[in-house]
Structure formats: C-alpha cells, structure tokens
A and B are shown apart, each in its own frame.
Chain A
Amino acid sequence: MFEFLSLNFAIAGGFLATVPFVLHLLRKTPAQTVPFTAVRFLRATLPRTTRRSSPEHWPLMLLRILAVVLLGMAFSRPFQFLAIDRQVSTPAGKRIAVLIDSSASMRRDGIRDQVLERFTSLAESLNPDDLLSVSTFSRSVSALITPEEWQQTAADGRPALLDRVSELWEPDWFPTETAAAMLSTAEQIAREKTSRSGTLERILVVITDFQNGSQLQQLQSAAWPENVRIELQVVGATPVGNAGISLFQTEKGVRVRLTSAGDSSLSKYRLQPFDASGLPLGDPLTVDVAPGQRRTITLPEYDDGSPVGIELLDDLHPFDNVIDLPTTEAPVRITGHLGSTDPNDSEQMRYYLQRVLDGDESLVTDLADLQTSDGTLVPPPKDARLIFVTAAASPEASDTLQAVLENGRSLFIALDSTTMAESLKSLLPAGCEVTEANVKDYAMFTSPDLNAPLLRPFADPRFSDFSSIRIWHHRRLTLPSEPPESLRILKRFDDGTPALVEYPGANGGRIWLSMTGWHPGDSQWALSSRFPPLLNRLLELAWPDERELRILEVGTILTPADLAADSDWVLTLPDQSTRSSQQAAADLQQSNGAPRVLLDQPGRWKLTINSPDGDRDVEFLVNVAAAESRTETLPAGQLQALGLSSDVAAIQDQNAVTEQDPEKLAQLNAEELESRQKIWRYFLLAALFCLVAEALLSRRIEQQQGQAEPAAQA
C-alpha cells in the first residue's frame, strides 16, 4: 500500500471527487437554440433543473471522479516502504572512489587531522567486497591507491595501502578544480565493469574543505552519471577565517591585494615588508578589510631600500600570507635624437618617435635631443645606447655620431633626402650610392628578413605583412658590387632596392639605415601598427639585459621558448634549484616539441635567456591563486544549486549532529524514499488519461444528443 507525505491532498481529492457525482445527479436544461418564426405565439418557460434519482451518464461521471481522486493522490506525494534499498538482485558490494582535496587551502591548521580522521573512519567501514580507490586532487587528479592495486592486494595487506594516504597526502599550492576532479572520477567509476554478479553501488567520496574558491561551475553544465552517488565530507580549519595577499600588475605599476574570507573574524590587518635577509623593513601598514571583501594597496617608497617581500600579519593561516615583491625597478632608457627639436610638429619624424617612446608606462624612455633649436650641438648622454638620426647632420654632428658609434652605441638613421644621405656619408656603408627613387603612386615594403634580430618579433604570420604600408618617397641605395658580408638587408622596396639595412658599427654597436622616413611626407610607416613594436624592438636590442617582470599564479604552465625562442635558458626556482633547456628533454613535460614548466610553488622564479643579443632575465613572481584565500565553506545546498539532485549528493558537514531526532530521521527517510520513487508521476499520468477519456466520451455524448434532436424535431 501507499504512504503519503502530504495526506491532506489525498483527503481533499476525496472530497472534491463528490462534485462530479453531484453534478451528474442534476440535469440542466440544454441551451440549444432553434430558429423559429412564430415566436410571438410562444410562452416563455424558465430552464428547469431536475433532480434525478440516478446520475446521468455514469461512465462520464466515473471518469471525472477518478481524475480528481488521482490528482489528489499525486499531490499527496505517495511512496512505498517497499524500499528501493531492497535490491532486486544480491548486492555485489560497493565501488568507492575517494577524492581528497590537496589544494593550497588545505594547508590550513587543523585540516590535516580531520582529513585523516575522515579517511580512517571510511576505511574502517569498508566491507571485504568493497572496491576502493583513493586519489588526491587540486589542479588535477593524482592516484594514491588504484582499484587494481586494491583488488590485487590481499585483505591483510590492505591496511598498508591505506597508510599510503597518511604518508603521501600533502597539500600542494595549486587551486581547487573540484568539479573537474569529481566529474572525471565519477565518469571513470561509472564506466567500470564488474565481474561480480548483482548490483554494484558506486559512491564517490569527496573529502574537501569545500571552500568558496573551489571551481564548481563545470558541474552545472556537465551530466552527472546516473549510477554514481556523491558523499561530500566537508572538513574545516581551526580556527575559521582567513586572509591572503597577492600581487598583480597594473599600468601604473605593481600592487598588493588583500583578500578576506567571508568567515573571517578580523577586519584589520597589518602588512609588514621585509628585506632580503628577512628582517622587517619599516613600520607595518595597517589595512582595513571587512570579511568577504578585498582591497588593493599601493606600497610606499622606502628610504632604507626596496623590500623583497611582504608578509600579512595577524592571520592565523600562513599559506597565503607571504609574497615576493619585484626587486628591480624598470630602467630608464635614454635615447638620443638628431633632427627636429619640435615635439609637436606632426610633419617631422620626431613627433611620432616621441609618441611611441612615451606610450610605454612600464619602461621609461627619455629622448634627448643632440642639438638645440638653433643648431647648437649638445653632447649625447653617456647612457644613451641608441641614437635616432632623422635629419641632415652638420659635419660636427656627424663626428659626434661617429664618436657614439665608437663607444659601442647604435644608430638608427632614417634618410628623408639625398642631402641627408650626403651629410652622413661617413656613416653609410662604404661604396654605396644614395639617389632619390622615382616612385609612381606609392611603393611598398617587401621581403622582410624575419630571421634578423630586429624583425624576429614579426615572424608570426599575423604580424609579418608590411605590404599595407604605403611609401610615397624613398631613396635608392645602390650597394657596391661586392657589399660587405656584415651588411644585412632587412627589408626591400617593391622595386627590389634595399629599404632597411643593418650593418655593424664599432665595438659591438650597430647601424640601422632606413631609406625612407616614417613621417607622413615620406610614408605611412609611423601610422602603421608595425611601427611601435619595431621601435620597441630597437630598444630591446639596445638594452638587452633589462629585466622583465611577470606576475603569475601557481599552476600556470610556462613555455620558456615563447620568451627565449631558440636560445638556451636556465630557470631558477624559488628554492634556488635550476632547470636548463638542456635538461628539458629528460625532465620537463613535452608538448608539441616545446618544453613546458609547471609553476608549482609560489615565490620568485627567474628565467635567464642566453641569446645572441645578450643575456636577459625575466622574473616571475608566482602567487598562490587568490581564490584559495576565499576559505569560507560553501553552503550545504551548493551541489544541488548546480543541478545535482539530492538523491545523488549527500553532504556530511564537519559539524553534523551524530544523533538525530528519530521522527525527523523518519521524515527524512520518507522524503528520501518519495524523491527516489516518484510515484506521483504515475498517478498524474493516470489522471491525464482519465481526462482525455472524459473529453472523448463527452464529445461522443454531445454528438449523439445532437443527432437525436433533429430526429425528434422531424
């Protein structure tokens, strides 16, 4: 027989079922309208409702009564205590897959003991027929105990397997990809076939802190395997609450962000910078951050030196309380310029050169004029490694440029006329001749040498097309029949003559010679999207050992070849161990032939690139993911909110009451049974069937009555 969760609906249905019965006892005068002529001779009579001793059309009445009763029963949520736990076939044990969270947030105090306690309790509840596997997860899933190992291990050997968890489980620094881990494990155990007879109960046990920063969204879009049940065992830190700091870069520089978890009890924190020896540097900064909020802080200047790191005080969970700060400031690059001194004249090359150099806020580049507006020469700054020459030079200026070259500096000469070329003859390749080219409509750049260091950034096909740049005027460079081998043609015009050449200066310096200017009078070059990266590349070549700074999160995969190209490199880890490109084949993960490095710990990483252009350091400050600092536990219904039904996912909270009210327990059991059996659907279906039959029968009766009326009238 059935039990009902909401018996009131069944009772109401019973009462309402009397309505069709009463209605069928009453006969109402039909409202058939007949056209007639002698209506004025008719005496009107009122419609009569007669009571009958027996219901009219009793099959129709029964259908209506039955429909009402079935609807009432459906709404009363019936279930049977013939529990589905009573297996149709003999149970074949359980397949239990345990996932233990090993993300960074699990480093908090008190969590490890709870994890081991939960696991031990689960292990003690295992039956000999149960099939167990244990994995850890954070960024990805790693197996600790495979099902094959478990199956192949004798019962007396299994405790040793279980001890592996306490021995090997250690939280790492990665973020929590909970949904991905759950789905992959659930799908795996759902697909497993068993040789056992009977029904195998498949359970996924997830031991996690279920923190707010866990990545769960994938559960909403993915289909959960029907035969896999989830037991979520939530552990928590002691005490609750957490705050963490991370570093991020803005256009205006590096900033520190403090994130407070929603269950934090503090709202005031202190940030203490420290120096290279770990000693506090200056007074701590006080920061107010309410629970669940975050705040961005700009570090002040320190007269005693720059701090190498900063520590968050007052927080009891230190895993995310220390970050490294950039140790080097961006250098100020000084370049020189010989040409127009008016920075606002848009017809001159200087105008566009200044715009590009000013556009990079992260690296300051000063442009120093080598002559005043009246033509007086100014000695070039001694730190100027690159001089731009955009106008004809006096003999004195030419000598100055020659001296710059001899100091190992580099020149970029953009010839805007043959006169300028004549004035700089001593700096041009020997034996060459410069004439004015006859351009019809416009010329274009072609044949870029993408292997040349200057143009290597344009090697990507997306950026290597220079043909969109229109050149109105250019000079024709005629090289001697046997040009120097060190001269390299980087680009040509579409008439085949050199457009940009490179040749060495003295003492390691170089000269780049462009046969056209980038100002509007000569070309569209300055207006092209290729112009700024070309100038920045010139600066990189001129300052090859400048240090770069990148701020990343733990779990990021680094491909050194993206920065080093074909050059050798050495990667220094936060613990000062190193990995080199030569070791890549043996030690590092291969993907598409390019070695990749997983940034698996927070701290300062440094990639030293040994390129022909010179050694270059790229510093990586790797943070713990900010999401890991949001340690407040998600609500119990979060899995249900993501679409998992309550009969799939059950949550055991750390504070779960072990003894429950028997009545409440019985109610929960009944609700559980009802939600599983869903018998209401069958009652609803039967009610719908009755309504359809009632409609068909009513129509048939109406048709029969309609046929009887004309016959009676005839």
Chain B
Amino acid sequence: MSVELMNPAVIMAIRSLELRARLIVDGFRTGLNRSNRHGFSVEFSEYRQYTQGDDPRFLDWKLFARTDRSYIRLFEDETNLRCNILLDVSRSMTFQSHDWSKWDYASTIAASLAWLLNRQGDAVGLTLYDDQIRDVVPARYRPGHFRRLLVTMERAAAGKLTDTAGALRDAADRLQKRGLVVLISDLLSPADDLSASLSVLRSCGHDVVVLQIMDPAEATLNFSGPVQFQDLETSVRVHADPDAIRAEYVEQIEAHNREVREECEAAGAAFRQFLTDQALEVCLAEFLQARRELR
C-alpha cells in the first residue's frame, strides 16, 4: 500500500505556520497509520484505549489478554527528550525559485518537528542564527511554549551572512543538558569548520541531526540564457551562461554536499538533505529515521 503524500505547494500555501505544522504532523501520523511499514521510524511509547475507528492491527493482544480491555499501542519517538533546533536565518535562506523560500520550508520543518515532539511531551527549544545568534528560546515543555516557538519563527527577519560553525559552538557552550540538536540550514558555506563544531557538540553528549535544505534551482542551476547572478549575502555579481556551465556547477555543488555529509558523519551527526519541492512528511520520516540511526 503506497502512502499518499501531501503536495508541498498545498501545504506551503497555508499562511499559518502552526496550521502547516499540525497538518504535516497529522498527515504524517495518518500516513504512518496507513502504511504497512507501521512502526517505521517510531518507537512504542504508551497505550491508549481502543476506540471505534482505530486500526485493529495495533491492538496489544497481550495486554488485552491480561486486562480484557482493548488498548492501542502508540508509536512515538522517545519520550522526555530535550531537543534544540538550530535554525539558519541568514539571507541565503530567502532564496526561492518557486512560491516559497528555503526559509519557509525550513521553518515549516522546524515547526513540524516542534509540534511532533511537543505532543510527545518532549521539551523543544529554538535558536535562530545567521552570523550571530539572533534569538534563543530555551527548551521547555509547558503550555504555550509551542506557541512561543512559532511566534519566534514568524517574526524572524532575514539575516545577513552565515556562521553555522559559530552557532554550533554557541549551542555547545549554552546547552547544559544532553539532548538532541537539530541543525536546519542550507549549509552552502565552506564546510571547513563544520566537523569540528559538530564534534564539540557530540562530545558534550548531544545527538545531532543535520537537515540540509536546498532549492531545486541551487541543485540544478535551472536558469536559461545568460544571467548576471548576484549573491544574496555578499552581493558579489557574476555574469554566467547557465547553459554553458551547468554541468560544471552541478558537479561542484554535489561535491560540496558530499563534503558536508562526510563532515557530518565524521563528527557522528546524522545528515539528511531535502529539496524544497519535496513532501514535508518525508522530512519528518527521514528525521525520525536519522534519529534512530544515532542510537
């Protein structure tokens, strides 16, 4: 049975970040229920009394035998997790080749993760960074905290340059308790310091998942005709004919991405790459899968 994913254009057309996050998480959970890969990327967390309409495949027969009551096994990620999301707000995240930017996509993923973890009772924090730490919301699990995370993301203004390594080092200094650190960025800067910074976090006992967000145009340089490109962060202008340099560019960008992946994996972090035209539920699924790989 195939899982029907929601069109990202439909999701991203929703203006409310909270609604997008809820839809993605609910859709993810529904899809998960419909998938024959139940239990995929989740773990058993608790029981819920069976109600009419639940899938009988998830009935815990052993518990039924013991208690003569029907309970549904709920699969969730690990409980009592302290998760800190590092979200890149640099100017490069504003790039877009369709109706939503990388920032829109990244913030939606971050909101979805926060909602998913929050429903599990996990504490979620948020750090916005570009070349500096712009905003920090400590990880909490309390009423209204999710709303606070959303507000922080919604009012974030486009930043300037990018210093991902600096943000990772700051997180390492600031986060006292071990937990999960999720880095969401386009990671287009040189990957020189990335491994060292990730290693610092890992050495503090944190699990790190790196989610790289790219625009399809960045991946494939799907422009036509000679164009004068201007860097969003440095304002450097380069006149180039995409048709002439596309193959060369793709080779270089892929090489960079490989390097980033290698740096992450070398530091013991899980790495996933997403394009902004991919279904967001897949992002959640991949995230959970990556989370499991760290264990």
Interface residues of A (CB under 8 A from B): 29-48, 709, 712-714
**Could you tell me the distance between the alpha carbons of A33 and B225 in the complex, rounded to whole angstroms?**
12
**Could you tell me the distance between the alpha carbons of A34 and B253 in the complex, rounded to whole angstroms?**
18
A711: nearest chain-B partner, CB-CB: B224
B258, chain A: closest CB distance, angstroms: 13
A36 touches B232 (CB 8 A): yes
A43 touches B248 (CB 8 A): yes
Residue B230 is within 8 A (CB to CB) of chain A in the complex? yes
Complex interface: chain B residues within 8 A of A47 (CB): 226, 239
B226 touches A29 (CB 8 A): yes
Also in contact, A38 and B218, with CB within 8 A (given A30-B226, A32-B228, A45-B244): yes
Complex interface: chain A residues within 8 A of B239 (CB): 29, 44-47
A39 touches B236 (CB 8 A): yes
**Could you tell me the distance between the alpha carbons of A45 and B226 in the complex, rounded to whole angstroms?**
9
**Could you tell me the distance between the alpha carbons of A45 and B241 in the complex, rounded to whole angstroms?**
6
Contacts of B178-233 to chain A: CB distance below 8 A: 186, 188, 215, 217-218, 222-233
Residue B10 is within 8 A (CB to CB) of chain A in the complex? no
A34 touches B188 (CB 8 A): no
Complex interface: chain B residues within 8 A of A46 (CB): 239
**Could you tell me the distance between the alpha carbons of A31 and B226 in the complex, rounded to whole angstroms?**
8
B124, chain A: closest CB distance, angstroms: 28
21 A–B pairs (Cβ distance < 8 Å), ordered by A: A29-B226, A33-B227, A33-B230, A34-B227, A36-B229, A37-B215, A37-B233, A38-B218, A38-B253, A39-B230, A39-B231, A39-B234, A39-B236, A41-B253, A42-B245, A42-B249, A44-B240, A45-B239, A45-B245, A46-B239, A47-B226
Interface residues of B (CB under 8 A from A): 92, 95, 97-98, 186, 188, 215, 217-218, 222-234, 236-241, 244-245, 248-249, 252-253, 256
B232 touches A41 (CB 8 A): no
A41 touches B256 (CB 8 A): yes
Also in contact, A45 and B240, with CB within 8 A (given A34-B223, A712-B224): yes
- Beyond contacts A33-B227, A40-B236, A713-B97: 20 other A-B pairs, Cβ-Cβ < 8 A, are A31-B228, A32-B227, A34-B227, A34-B229, A34-B230, A35-B95, A37-B186, A37-B231, A37-B232, A39-B229, A39-B230, A39-B234, A41-B252, A43-B240, A43-B249, A44-B239, A44-B240, A45-B226, A48-B226, A713-B224
**Could you tell me the distance between the alpha carbons of A709 and B225 in the complex, rounded to whole angstroms?**
9
Complex interface: chain A residues within 8 A of B215 (CB): 37
Complex interface: chain B residues within 8 A of A45 (CB): 226, 239-241, 244-245
A37 touches B240 (CB 8 A): no
**Could you tell me the distance between the alpha carbons of A31 and B240 in the complex, rounded to whole angstroms?**
11
**Could you tell me the distance between the alpha carbons of A40 and B229 in the complex, rounded to whole angstroms?**
10
Complex interface: chain A residues within 8 A of B253 (CB): 38, 41
Complex interface: chain A residues within 8 A of B188 (CB): 37-38
**Could you tell me the distance between the alpha carbons of A30 and B249 in the complex, rounded to whole angstroms?**
21
Complex interface: chain B residues within 8 A of A35 (CB): 95, 229-232
A713 touches B223 (CB 8 A): yes
A28: nearest chain-B partner, CB-CB: B226
A46: nearest chain-B partner, CB-CB: B239
A713 touches B230 (CB 8 A): no
A39, chain B: closest CB distance, angstroms: 4
B224, chain A: closest CB distance, angstroms: 4
Centre residue among B232, B233, B241 by max chain A CB count within 10 A: B241
Complex interface: chain B residues within 8 A of A32 (CB): 225, 227-228
**Could you tell me the distance between the alpha carbons of A33 and B226 in the complex, rounded to whole angstroms?**
10
**Could you tell me the distance between the alpha carbons of A35 and B248 in the complex, rounded to whole angstroms?**
20
**Could you tell me the distance between the alpha carbons of A343 and B218 in the complex, rounded to whole angstroms?**
111
Also in contact, A33 and B237, with CB within 8 A (given A38-B253, A41-B256, A47-B226): yes
Also in contact, A37 and B228, with CB within 8 A (given A43-B245, A45-B240, A712-B223): no
B219, chain A: closest CB distance, angstroms: 9
**Could you tell me the distance between the alpha carbons of A30 and B233 in the complex, rounded to whole angstroms?**
23
**Could you tell me the distance between the alpha carbons of A17 and B280 in the complex, rounded to whole angstroms?**
60
B8, chain A: closest CB distance, angstroms: 15
A33: nearest chain-B partner, CB-CB: B228
Q: Which 7 A-B pairs have the closest CB atoms?
A: A39-B231, A712-B224, A37-B92, A36-B229, A29-B226, A41-B252, A45-B241
A34: nearest chain-B partner, CB-CB: B227
B225 touches A42 (CB 8 A): no
Complex interface: chain A residues within 8 A of B92 (CB): 37
A632, chain B: closest CB distance, angstroms: 73
**Could you tell me the distance between the alpha carbons of A37 and B96 in the complex, rounded to whole angstroms?**
10
**Could you tell me the distance between the alpha carbons of A39 and B227 in the complex, rounded to whole angstroms?**
12
**Could you tell me the distance between the alpha carbons of A188 and B188 in the complex, rounded to whole angstroms?**
91
**Could you tell me the distance between the alpha carbons of A712 and B227 in the complex, rounded to whole angstroms?**
12
**Could you tell me the distance between the alpha carbons of A104 and B136 in the complex, rounded to whole angstroms?**
107
**Could you tell me the distance between the alpha carbons of A45 and B225 in the complex, rounded to whole angstroms?**
12
**Could you tell me the distance between the alpha carbons of A54 and B73 in the complex, rounded to whole angstroms?**
73
Centre residue among A29, A45, A47, A712 by max chain B CB count within 10 A: A45
A426, chain B: closest CB distance, angstroms: 115
Complex interface: chain A residues within 8 A of B256 (CB): 41
**Could you tell me the distance between the alpha carbons of A714 and B9 in the complex, rounded to whole angstroms?**
14
A335, chain B: closest CB distance, angstroms: 101
A713 touches B222 (CB 8 A): yes
B225 touches A41 (CB 8 A): no
B228, chain A: closest CB distance, angstroms: 5
A596, chain B: closest CB distance, angstroms: 89
B9, chain A: closest CB distance, angstroms: 12
A714 touches B229 (CB 8 A): no
Complex interface: chain B residues within 8 A of A42 (CB): 229, 238, 240, 245, 249
**Could you tell me the distance between the alpha carbons of A35 and B237 in the complex, rounded to whole angstroms?**
9
Complex interface: chain B residues within 8 A of A29 (CB): 226, 239
**Could you tell me the distance between the alpha carbons of A130 and B223 in the complex, rounded to whole angstroms?**
83
A79, chain B: closest CB distance, angstroms: 51
A41: nearest chain-B partner, CB-CB: B252
Complex interface: chain A residues within 8 A of B240 (CB): 42-45
Also in contact, A714 and B98, with CB within 8 A (given A39-B229, A41-B256, A42-B240): yes
**Could you tell me the distance between the alpha carbons of A310 and B288 in the complex, rounded to whole angstroms?**
130
B250: nearest chain-A partner, CB-CB: A41
A340, chain B: closest CB distance, angstroms: 99
Complex interface: chain A residues within 8 A of B98 (CB): 714
A712: nearest chain-B partner, CB-CB: B224
Complex interface: chain A residues within 8 A of B245 (CB): 42-43, 45
**Could you tell me the distance between the alpha carbons of A41 and B233 in the complex, rounded to whole angstroms?**
14
Complex interface: chain B residues within 8 A of A713 (CB): 97, 217, 222-224
Complex interface: chain A residues within 8 A of B227 (CB): 32-34
B248 touches A34 (CB 8 A): no
**Could you tell me the distance between the alpha carbons of A41 and B248 in the complex, rounded to whole angstroms?**
9
**Could you tell me the distance between the alpha carbons of A34 and B215 in the complex, rounded to whole angstroms?**
15
B122, chain A: closest CB distance, angstroms: 32
A710: nearest chain-B partner, CB-CB: B97
Complex interface: chain B residues within 8 A of A48 (CB): 226, 241
Also in contact, A37 and B226, with CB within 8 A (given A43-B240, A44-B238, A47-B239): no
Partner of A39, one of B224, B225, B226, B238: B238
B232, chain A: closest CB distance, angstroms: 5
Partner of A37, one of B218, B222, B238: B218
Complex interface: chain A residues within 8 A of B234 (CB): 39
Complex interface: chain B residues within 8 A of A38 (CB): 188, 218, 249, 253
Also in contact, A36 and B230, with CB within 8 A (given A42-B245, A44-B240, A45-B239): yes
A713, chain B: closest CB distance, angstroms: 5
A709, chain B: closest CB distance, angstroms: 7
Complex interface: chain A residues within 8 A of B228 (CB): 31-34
**Could you tell me the distance between the alpha carbons of A158 and B144 in the complex, rounded to whole angstroms?**
119
A639, chain B: closest CB distance, angstroms: 64
B222: nearest chain-A partner, CB-CB: A713
A477, chain B: closest CB distance, angstroms: 102
**Could you tell me the distance between the alpha carbons of A48 and B241 in the complex, rounded to whole angstroms?**
10
